[in-house]
Structure 1
């Protein structure tokens, strides 16, 4: 579900954008605003970068995000009627997304392009807010920073550009602080002197605060996450989500907590905790050192199987994607670390060609440096799958392990 400028103008609750909502907006004569722009026809695909499209996208992004609707006539900025813009081809959509990346600096990612109608076609392009402004466009030897001024597009003055750069640096600082707070909270109280703990957190870069998540919604998110996580990493390792109470999340401070369900001394090695915050943030804390190697033997607390890291990453990234959809978030900052306070150096274990545990390639770590990335949780499924793979590879590479064992996305061309 999403809450668009059309929902706001019509006083509707968050929902999927539909043809009926667009008809209602036209019937009500909704007026253009900072975050809404009516267009009567689609721009030509040829030389798209030379049209007003880059300026329109950059202006919306610089103004806190908004929506451009193609297929609506306006008079004095008010919608008057719908116009058929024809079919939006895959090539046209690809060119539109490409312009947002190649003709604007910094690029604008995360466009949401939606088609409407069977007889009367329309297209809505949602441009996300950004903490990377000001977004500039270049023409010949000149550049400028467009911005929405009510229903019009203007150019920023020098002081406005300066203020936006200052805001960018401040927002990045706040985003880093938010990620630090999530990580520190998830890591606090773990017995990292006895066994290694994997701490993984994700925070939306621009949280879109909505109503608090209900217990039922948190339960739905956890249930959906399990299936997606198993798509990413299969069932050949220890998934944190398999060791928490997904059916009965407990309330916490502006969050729901899936508490550990690994009971007793013989199962304590599988301990895990997962939380889903109302603002869309998620955390995973899982014991990854000292896992069982046979019915009677266990690894040492400083020995971590790479498969355990991959399973935790699959769970985290699936949780990010499902939670983002439920909370209408998109871009996330992600951090994964392994906390170990014992005397022995941390060692990441892999498997040899025969399937036996192997540490010959491991690089002993006296400190595991947290790995960070930024992901767009709304990007196409295959692209996101590859982000999961790349993140997992970075995480295991630090311990001297060359390849991931479990996370193998399909080739981008669709071949095996």
Structure 2
């Protein structure tokens, strides 16, 4: 279908180019946004605006101060840097659909790019004050509140409903400390009292009144501070703003308590409405479909990784991770060279001395392992990092039975006992910790994936040819399993937020504990013991040689170390 030639509206190209340059400066390092790329993205943004205007989309929103220009500029940069096909709608409906897709694309990135032109972790109080100067209007993803939410039941439920509504729609920001006029435009910025205690109260209210609890963040922005500084240990109460950032949730629908009943709120423009029964049913179908796709994806990447592991003389702990909001990255020659350099200096895991020796590329993934030469199989370690943020980590473990064989004095045990793989429980736990940390950092930092993740762990191989038990060397080498497992059990799995796993800390410990304990239960062990679900390290369940390194690592990452025992 052809379209009628149109004349570029006045100032459209300068406006588009300026918006792209302004946004591009924030992301130049990650997108390699050179001048030609910026010019090309500006031309793409201009084409979008012209096409939308041609087909009847109200172009008054595309003013120099409009958030939509910056949002479209982000998408134009993404598409240009990744050589994506330019979308040129031919009808009014297609133009509307394009703009809707742009909005949803940004929401799916977890509000990494905001209407202020900076990532949330660089947000400052003056960015919020600028909303008043530009008379920015509330929208489906932006909500102003002059005051803090109160402590009464009705105000607590209002907070829960506002957060759930954003999570059920496209995500967005609730800004406390901004007043609005009769047209829902920002009119004043009196600010509110900002304290760590208030931020904590907001988190507690949402966690107790919204089910399931969505991913969200609370940014306490004192005047003349950035969001990253506000995350520090500042207990004083000052005047400023509180921003509640809620990404679009793949776990929708989220219910909130309204008048003693659970309701499902959703943003409708600048107001909130409640989902009807058919809409609720549809939302649950979407959630189940998303979970099924995530499970399919994790099976796919695990299958590919397991096929390239050398299992001839060593068992493996294999950890996999798939985000429910996929990210995006590309593989260029420069990115691959950077990856090679990173792997050359990267230990194969926590408390390891060796590094990755070999890097390769696969289809939409970067690969590293501990093999050398032309051996097609991975040895010692394996890392599969996919461009959508998913990944698999493998680490070879010592078979304690083979160690006993090498050191055996006197009459050896029977051949059946020698056939059993006996795997050290401590190194299983270290492998899980290493894998979760490395894969979550890839998902968050390399691909900008968001939301929660499905994380799994398994021992491989386990079969009649490789009967397996979990053992320990803390006193002397012995088994902890009451029997040998000859059928490969399903992987241990759990869900967690990416941010809980991407930084070493108590949250990572708690998630790793859940995975490790479930894996141990497959082999007849109720609790592995090295970690706790409260995010602590148990000292006495580490061997003497590991107590020192583990304790130092825990101390450096503010992880409590306790001397408790299993009940």
Q: Does residue 258 of structure 1 match 2:368?
A: yes
Corresponding position of 2:227: none
1:365 to 461, 474, 485: 485
Distance of aligned partners of 1:278 and 1:22 in 2 relative to their CA distance in 1, 3 Å threshold: farther
Q: Does residue 343 of structure 1 match 2:448?
A: no
Corresponding position of 1:271: 380
Corresponding position of 1:84: 191
> Could you tell me how far 1:328 is from its partner in structure 2?
5.0
> Could you tell me how far 1:280 is from its partner in structure 2?
2.1
Write the mapping of 1:5-404 to structure 2, written as runs, cut at 5 A: 7-12=113-118, 16-47=122-153, 50-75=156-181, 76-90=183-197, 92-108=198-214, 110-118=215-223, 120-192=239-311, 195-209=314-328, 214-215=335-336, 230=350, 235=351, 239=352, 242-245=354-357, 249-261=359-371, 271-288=380-397, 290=399, 293=403, 302-326=421-445, 327=448, 329-340=450-461, 343-351=464-472, 353-354=474-475, 356-359=476-479, 361-369=481-489, 370-379=491-500, 381-404=505-528
> Could you tell me how far 1:254 is from its partner in structure 2?
2.6
- Between the aligned partners of 1:284 and 1:5, the Cα distance in structure 2 is 28
Tell me if structure 2 keeps the 8 A contact 1:269–1:288: no
Deviations along 1:184-243, one digit per CA (max 9) or x if unpaired, are 11112434465433322101112244677945775798799869x63xxxx3xxx5x945
Deviations along 1:219-271, one digit per CA (max 9) or x if unpaired, are 798799869x63xxxx3xxx5x94524xx754433332223246799xx9952
Q: Which has the higher contact order (CA 8 A, sep 6+)?
A: 1
Q: Does residue 410 of structure 1 match 2:522?
A: no
Tell me if structure 2 keeps the 8 A contact 1:194–1:342: no
Tell me if structure 2 keeps the 8 A contact 1:280–1:329: no
Distance of aligned partners of 1:58 and 1:34 in 2 relative to their CA distance in 1, 3 Å threshold: same
SS in 2 for 1:86: strand
Distance of aligned partners of 1:82 and 1:208 in 2 relative to their CA distance in 1, 3 Å threshold: farther
Query: Structure 1 stretch 329-338 or stretch 345-354: which is displaced more?
Result: 345-354
Deviations along 1:134-173, one digit per CA (max 9) or x if unpaired, are 2122334433211011221111122221211211111111
- Between the aligned partners of 1:269 and 1:330, the Cα distance in structure 2 is 31
SS in 1 for 2:300: helix
Aligned residues: 400
Tell me if structure 1 keeps the 8 A contact 2:463–2:485: no
CA RMSD of aligned residues (A): 3.8
- Between the aligned partners of 1:12 and 1:244, the Cα distance in structure 2 is 35
SS in 1 for 2:127: helix
Taking structure 1 as the reference length, the TM-score comes to 0.81
- Between the aligned partners of 1:264 and 1:359, the Cα distance in structure 2 is 37
- Flag the structure with larger Rg: 2
Structure 1 unaligned runs (5+)?
none
Deviations along 1:289-335, one digit per CA (max 9) or x if unpaired, are 64763895698683322233222101112114433441252411011
Distance of aligned partners of 1:163 and 1:79 in 2 relative to their CA distance in 1, 3 Å threshold: same
Structure 2 unaligned runs (5+)?
1-26, 28-105, 225-238, 409-417, 538-557, 563-567
Distance of aligned partners of 1:193 and 1:222 in 2 relative to their CA distance in 1, 3 Å threshold: closer
- Between the aligned partners of 1:209 and 1:382, the Cα distance in structure 2 is 28
> Could you tell me how far 1:61 is from its partner in structure 2?
0.8
Distance of aligned partners of 1:384 and 1:5 in 2 relative to their CA distance in 1, 3 Å threshold: closer
- Between the aligned partners of 1:211 and 1:153, the Cα distance in structure 2 is 38
Tell me if structure 2 keeps the 8 A contact 1:32–1:38: yes
Taking structure 2 as the reference length, the TM-score comes to 0.61
- Between the aligned partners of 2:444 and 2:462, the Cα distance in structure 1 is 37
SS in 2 for 1:200: strand
Query: Structure 1 stretch 377-386 or stretch 35-44: which is displaced more?
Result: 377-386
